[in-house]
Chains A and B, each alone.
Chain A
Amino acid sequence: MLPHRVRTLTLLVWAWRRLTTMRTAVVLLILLSLTAIPGSLLPQRNVASNPFAVTAFFNDHPRLAPVLDRLGLFDVYASSWFAAVYLLLMVSMTGCVLPRCVALWRDMRSPTPPAPARLAELAGGRRIEMPVPVPEAIAAVSLRMREQGLKPRTHGNELRAERGRVRELGNVAFHLSLLVLLVGVALGKLTGYEGRVVVMEDTTFTNTVSQYDEFTPSVWTDIDGIAPVSVSLDRFDATFETAGQARGEPRSFEAMVRWSVAGGEERRRVIRPNQPLDVGETKFFLTGHGYAPRITVRDGTGQTVYSGATVFYPSDSTFASDGVVKVPDARPGQLAFQGLFLPTAVRGSNGVPLSEFPAPVNPRLLLTAWTGDLGLDDGEAQNVGFLDTSGLTRVGDAATSRQTLAVGESVVLPDGLGRVTFDGYDRFVNFQVAYDPGKEISLVAGLMLLLGLIVSLVVPRRRVWAHVERGGPDGSASVVTMGGRAMSRRLSDVDRVVRDVDRLAASLPGVSHPNTRADRDQPLKEKV
C-alpha cells in the first residue's frame, strides 16, 4: 500500500490532468452558458435597469422569492456558484495554455521535422512524374513552394516547408487575454465607484460622497481621494419629435455645464448622451432629466415661509411629474403640497388633466394642500418625495382641494392658511458618475482577445513535404512525392492543406497521380 502522501499527490496530479483537458473545458463552457441564463430572466440586484425589480418580485411571489434568494438567484453574477464555474474554467484554461506557451517557445525556434514515412498518405498526398533530373526538380519544387509563401528548407532530396507558425501565438494570446480581462474587471470592481446625483439648473455639484443621492463604493475605494470636480448646470435643453407616430420621442438632450477641478480654471462643456464629461478617470454621464417647479408659499401671517424649486420625478414619457413640498414653518398650521406638473397640459377624455407632450408648451401645476402636524419635528428621517397624509387634513373640500395653476398664478388657501404662487419651473438632470480604473486594462485585454482570436482562426498552420527521387531508366526524370499536414485539429484546416498541395502540384510540370486513399476526411489524430 502506498504511503498516504503519495496517494494524495497522485490524486492531485490526476485531478489536475483531468481539469486541464479540452473535454473539461468544453463541459465548463456549457456550464457557464447555462448558469448565466437565470440572471437574465430573474430580476437582479445592482444589475437591472429598474432598481425596484427585485422588491417587486418579492411582493408578487412572497413564498418563492426567499427560496430563490437563498440560492443566490437575485445575485447570479456575484454568486459563489457562478464564480466557481468561471474560476474553474480560468484555472483549466491556464493549466492548458501555460504548457503550450513553453511548447510555443521551443517550437518557434526549432526547424520543421523530417517528412513522415508514408508521405503520399497525408493530406493532398500524390506522386508527380517530372521530366527533369533530380536537382532541377528540387529547384523547381523549392521555387514553387517559395511562391506560395511556404518557406522550404532542403535536406538532401527532401524539402520541408511550414506556414502559419504565428497561429499558435494568436491562440495563446487569445487565452491569456482572458486572464488580463479578469485583472481589469477585478481592479474596477475593487477600487472603482459609481454614484447618482440630481443637479438643478443654476446649482453646482461638488464631487464628494455627501453630495450624492446614491453612492456605491467598492471594497477598496479611496473615498477621500475621489476627484475634486465641481460641475455647475447652467441650462438643460431637450428637443422632441413634433409630428408623426413618433411624436414626443426625444431627439436631443443637452446639459450646458461649467466644470473645474479643485478650484482651478473653469471650463464650459455640453454633456449629451454618449458624450460624457471625462475628467481624468472620472466620467459624468447624462442619464435623465425632469422639471423642478418653483413655488412661493406665504403663510397665514403673511410671512414667506417657502420659496424655491423642488424636483418632481417624471412618471411617464409625457413627463407628467410628481412631487411633494413640505412647509413646516407655516403658521397657523404646517402646510404640505402634493403636486403634479404637466409640461403640456390638456384635459383628457374623462375630464382628467394630463400631459400630452414632454416639452413645456402649456405648463400647469396641480396642487393639493394638506395641513396638520407633518411629523418633521421629532427628527425621524423622512422620504422627501413622499407625503404621509394619515395625520393631515386636506385643505378645501373634494371639489376644490386640487388647484390648477399657470406660471405666475396664485391661489389663496381657505381658513386663512396662506397663499401659494407658481413662479415658474427649472429643469434638472440626473448625472451618473463612474470611476473605473480597470477599464483601460480591460480594453487592452479585449483588443488582445480579438487579435489573438482572428490570428488563431484565420491562419492555418500547416506543413508540406516533398521528397524527390530519381525516375526513368536514365535518370533524366524524377518522381516527386508530396503531402501536407494541418497542424490543428480543425477539419476545415485540412482542406486548406489539400488546397495548398493541389496548387503546388498544379504549378509543376509533369503527370500527377493523386493518392485516392490520402487523408482527406480525417482530421489530425495526434495531439498537437
Chain B
Amino acid sequence: MDASTYALASDRLVLFSIAVFALAMLALAVARATRPADVGVPVGVVVEATVAARTSAGVALAERGRSSLSERTGTNLLVLGLVLTIAAATTRGLAAGRTPWANMYEFTLVGSIALVLSFLVLSRHQRTQPVRAVGVWVAAAAALFLGLGLTVLYVPAAGLIPVLDSAWLVIHVAAAIVAGGLFTVGAATTVLQLIRLRQERSPGPVRGASAARLERAAQSIYTVAFPIWTFAVLAGAIWAENSWGRYWGWDPKETWAFITWVCYAAYLHAQATAGWRGRRASWLALAGYAAFWFNFVGVNLWVGGLHSYSGV
C-alpha cells in the first residue's frame, strides 16, 4: 500500500470510530438511565462470610451483578472504538512516515485514544472504579473530539518541519497526551462529584456512586496524571534547550503548561488542607483542566508563539 491509501484508510477509520463512540454513548446513556438504585459496595467493605468470599473476588462478584446488558454493550463498543482509533492513528503514521502526533488534528486523534484507554483501564481498577459513572461522557467526548478534528482541524498527512524532527516530539507530546486523557476522565469525575454533592445536600435518595467515592477516584487519577504532566513539561524544557537554546522562555505554550501544573499542584495541596478539601479543591482541579484546554485551543489558534505548529 502506498501513502495515499494509508491516508484514506486512516480518515475512513476515524469516521467509523466516531460512529462507534456515538453508539457507545447511547448504550451507556441507557445503562445510566435504567440502573437500579445504588447497591453501594464501598471499597473495602465486604460481605461477612468465609475467607474466600472476603477477597477482591467478592467485590468483583458484587460488581458484576450490577453491570447491565446496556453497560456491557457500551463498554464493548468503547473497546471497539479504541481499536479503530488505534488503527486510524497507525495508518496515519504510515501515511506520513512519522509519529502520528505532530499537528492539532493528530492530537485529537491520539488524544481520543488516550482518553478512552484511560477510562477503560481506570474503570477496571478497584480504587478508580467509580469512574464508570462518567463512561457516557467519555464516549461523547471521544466522538466530539474526533468529529471536530475531522471537520475543523483536519490537515492531510505530510512530513515534519525540521524543528519538530526530534525524538523529543515522540516523548514530550506523548506524555502530554496521556496526561490529557487522564485529566479528562478526572475532570468528568470531578464534575459528577460536584453534582452529587449538591444532590446529597437535598433530602431524598441519591442514585449512583457517592460524592465521597467519586472524589477519591478523581484524586487517584490526578495523583497519576500530575507526575506524567510534570514529566511532559520537563521533557519539553529539555527539548526547548536543545532546539532554541533555552529551557524556559515563557512562550505562551510554556506559560499555560506552567499554569496547568500550578493549578493541579494547588489542588493536591488543597486536598490536604482543612477548609479546602472537597468542593473547593475540586474547583482547583477543574481550573487546571480549563488551563490545559486553553493551552491546546486558545494558544494554538489565538495567541501564537513559538509552538504554533497547529497546521490549521
- Among the listed B158, B250, B252, B277, which residue makes an inter-chain contact with A246, where contact means beta carbons less than 8 Å apart? B158
Give the size category of B's interface with A: 35 or more
Partner of A244, one of B45, B158, B242: B158
**Is B216's beta carbon under 8 Å from chain A?**
yes
Q: Which of A33, A241, A513 contacts B266 (CB 8 A)?
A: A33
Q: Does A349 contact B (CB under 8 A)?
A: no
Question: When each residue 438-473 of chain A gets 1 if its CB lies under 8 Å from chain B and 0 otherwise, what string results?
Answer: 010011001101100110011000000000000000
- Option from B234, B244, B299 in Cβ contact (under 8 Å) with A40: B299
Residue of A nearest to B237 (CB): A446
CA distance A252 to B161 in the complex (A): 7
- A290 → chain B, closest Cβ, in Å? 15
Residue contact A253 to B162, C-beta cutoff 8 Å:
yes
- Whether A29 contacts B266 by the Cβ 8 Å rule is yes
Q: A23-B276, A488-B272, A495-B43 are in contact. Are A436 and B246 (CB under 8 A)?
A: yes
| Residue pair A276, B250 in contact (C-beta under 8 Å) | no
Q: Are B250 and A442 in contact (CB under 8 A)?
A: no
In A424-446, the 8 Å CB interface with B consists of 432-434, 436, 439, 442-443, 446
Picked from B48, B55, B126, B166, the residue with its CB within 8 Å of the CB of A506 is: B55
Do A40 and B269 touch across chains, with their CB atoms under 8 A apart?
no
Q: Hey, which chain A residues are within 8 Å of B127, CB to CB?
A: 492, 495-496, 499
A520 near B48 with CB under 8 A, answer: no
- Stretch of A41-49, A100-108, A374-382, A389-397 at the chain-chain interface: A41-49
Smallest CB-CB separation from A285: which chain B residue?
B245
B250 with A44: CB separation less than 8 A: yes
CB distance from B290 to the nearest CB of A (A): 11
Q: Which of these, B220, B224, B265, B277, contacts A523 with CB under 8 Å?
A: B277
Alpha-carbon gap, A167 to B239, bound state (A) = 30
Q: If the complex has contacts A29-B265, A39-B255, are A520 and B272 also in contact, measured as CB distance less than 8 A? A: no
Please give me the residue from chain B that is nearest to A48 by CB atom.
B305
The residue from A41, A432, A490, A512 contacting B272, defined by CB atoms under 8 A apart: A490
On whether the beta carbons of A432 and B245 are closer than 8 Å, the reply is: yes
Task: Judge if A234 is at the interface, Cβ distance under 8 Å.
Answer: no
Residues 473-528 (chain A) with a chain B CB within 8 angstroms = 488-492, 494-496, 498-499, 502-503, 505-506, 508-510, 512-514, 516, 520-521, 523
Q: Mark B267-280, 1 if CB is under 8 A from A, else 0.
A: 01111110111000
The one of A273, A285, A498, A516 in contact with B43, judged by C-beta atoms closer than 8 angstroms, is A498
A residues in contact with B275, CB < 8 Å? 23
B223 beta carbon closer than 8 Å to chain A: yes
User: Shortest beta-carbon distance, A236 to chain B, in Å?
Assistant: 13
Question: Which of these binds chain A: B61-69, B76-84, B115-123, B225-233?
Answer: B225-233
B271: which of A77, A447, A490 is its contact (CB, 8 Å)? Answer: A490
Interchain CB contact (< 8 A) of A495 among B159, B216, B226, B258: B216
Q: Which residues of B contact A246 (CB under 8 A)?
A: 155-156, 158-159
CB distance from A524 to the nearest CB of B (A): 10
Check B162 against A450 for contact (C-beta < 8 Å).
no
Does A11 have its Cβ within 8 Å of any Cβ on chain B? no
Chain B residue nearest to A502 in the complex (CB):
B44
A273 touches B162 (CB 8 A): yes
- In the complex, the chain A residue whose C-beta lies closest to that of B163 is A273
Contact B276 A26 (CB under 8 A): yes
Q: Which of B270-308 contact A (CB under 8 A)?
A: 270-273, 275-277, 284, 287, 291, 299, 303-306
Known contacts A251-B159, A251-B161; is A514 also within 8 Å of B251 by CB?
no
The verdict on A51 contacting chain B, using a C-beta distance below 8 Å, is no
Contacts of B230 in A (CB 8 A): 449-450, 453
Q: In the complex where A285-B244, A450-B227, A512-B54 touch, is A499 in contact with B126 (Cβ < 8 A)?
A: yes
B165 at the interface (CB under 8 A from A): yes
Tell me whether B42 is interfacial, beta carbon within 8 Å.
yes
Contact with B along A76-120 (1 / 0, CB 8 A): 110000000000000000000000000000000000000000000
Find out whether the CB atom of B276 lies under 8 angstroms from the CB atom of A509.
no
B212 near A492 (CB under 8 angstroms)? Answer: no
Q: How far is the CB of B99 from chain A (nearest CB, A)?
A: 14
Q: Across the interface, do B255 and A36 meet the contact criterion of CB distance under 8 Å? A: yes
A513 touches B242 (CB 8 A): no
Is A258 at the interface (CB under 8 A from chain B)?
A: no
- By beta carbon, the residue of chain B nearest A252 is B162
Looking at chain B's contact residues, is the secondary structure mostly helix, strand, loop, or mixed? helix
> Which of A30, A194, A499 is close to B284, meaning CB atoms less than 8 Å apart?
A30
Considering the complex, give the chain B residue whose CB is closest to the CB of A89: B262
| Residue from A22, A76, A287, A436 whose CB has the most chain B CB atoms within 10 Å | A22
Check: A373 CB closer than 8 A to any chain B CB: no
Residues of chain A lying within 8 A (CB to CB) of residue B258 = 33, 36
Q: Which residue of B lies closest to A239 (CB)?
A: B162
Q: A48-B305, A489-B272, A509-B51 are in contact. Are A514 and B45 (CB under 8 A)?
A: yes
Q: Which residues of B contact A492 (CB under 8 A)?
A: 127, 216, 219-220, 223
- Determine how close the nearest CB of chain B comes to the CB of A405; give it in whole angstroms: 31
CB contact between A490 and one of B212, B219, B265, B291 (< 8 Å): that residue: B219
Given A185-B248, A272-B162, A457-B227, does the pair A491, B219 have CB atoms closer than 8 Å? yes
Contacts of B43 in A (CB 8 A): 495, 498-499
In the assembled complex, the CB of B167 is this many whole angstroms from the nearest CB of chain A, namely 9
**Is A350 interfacial (CB 8 A cutoff)?**
no
> Does chain B have a CB within 8 A of A423?
no
* B-side contacts of A434, CB under 8 Å: 245-246
Cβ–Cβ contact A443 & B238, under 8 A = yes
Complex: A457 Cα to B226 Cα, angstroms: 9
CB contact between B158 and one of A47, A185, A245 (< 8 Å): that residue = A245
Query: Which residues from B are CB-within-8-Å of A432?
Result: 244-245
Report the minimum CB–CB distance from B175 to chain A (whole Å): 11
- Residues of B within 8 Å of A124, CB to CB, are 44
Question: Cβ of B51: which chain A residues have Cβ within 8 Å of it?
Answer: 506, 508-510, 512
For the complex, give the distance between the alpha carbons of A514 and B249 in Å: 56
Write out the residue numbers on chain A whose beta carbons fall within 8 Å of the beta carbon of B238. Answer: 443, 446
* Extra A-B contacts (6), CB below 8 Å, given A246-B159, A274-B168: A33-B266, A40-B256, A252-B162, A273-B163, A450-B231, A499-B126
Closest 7 CB pairs of A and B: A434-B245, A498-B44, A29-B266, A489-B272, A246-B158, A40-B255, A33-B262
Please give the residue numbers on chain A whose beta carbons come within 8 Å of chain B beta carbons, in ascending order.
Answer: 22-23, 25-26, 29-30, 32-33, 36-37, 39-41, 44, 47-49, 76-77, 124, 185, 194, 241, 244-246, 249-253, 272-274, 276, 283, 285, 287, 432-434, 436, 439, 442-443, 446-447, 449-450, 453-454, 457-458, 488-492, 494-496, 498-499, 502-503, 505-506, 508-510, 512-514, 516, 520-521, 523
Query: What are 26 pairs between A and B in contact, CB < 8 Å?
Result: A33-B291, A36-B259, A37-B259, A40-B255, A40-B303, A49-B305, A241-B159, A244-B156, A250-B161, A251-B161, A273-B165, A274-B165, A274-B239, A276-B242, A285-B243, A432-B245, A439-B247, A449-B230, A450-B227, A450-B230, A490-B268, A491-B219, A495-B43, A495-B216, A499-B126, A508-B51
